[in-house]
Amino acid sequence: MASAMEKLGAPPEPLKRSQASLFGGVACGVGVFILVLLLAGGPSLLNIAIGLVIGAALGIWVRLADL
């Protein structure tokens, strides 16, 4: 096992994300999309586009932030 001083100059190891992180991101994105449509008052084209953007952004954020 390498000591802390030996690890100091080593390149960083890539982070591994689990399958649960992917599922959580997708579920959160879909949930936010549905909530935006319900709160917006109707399924118009503009509301669907806004819901997709917000849902995708939050889904990606959950996926990347869940390490």
pLDDT of residue 20: 81
Identify which has the larger pLDDT, 7 or 30: 30
pLDDT of residue 39: 93
From first CA to last CA, the distance across the chain in angstroms is 24
pLDDT of residue 6: 66
Tens of pLDDT, residue by residue over 8-66, are 766 777 767 678 888 888 999 999 999 999 999 888 999 999 999 999 999 999 888 87
Closest among 13, 57, 11, 16 to 33, alpha carbons compared: 57
What is the identity of the amino acid at 10? A
Q: How many CB atoms lie within 10 A of CB 66?
A: 14
Question: Do you know the residue count of the chain?
Answer: 67
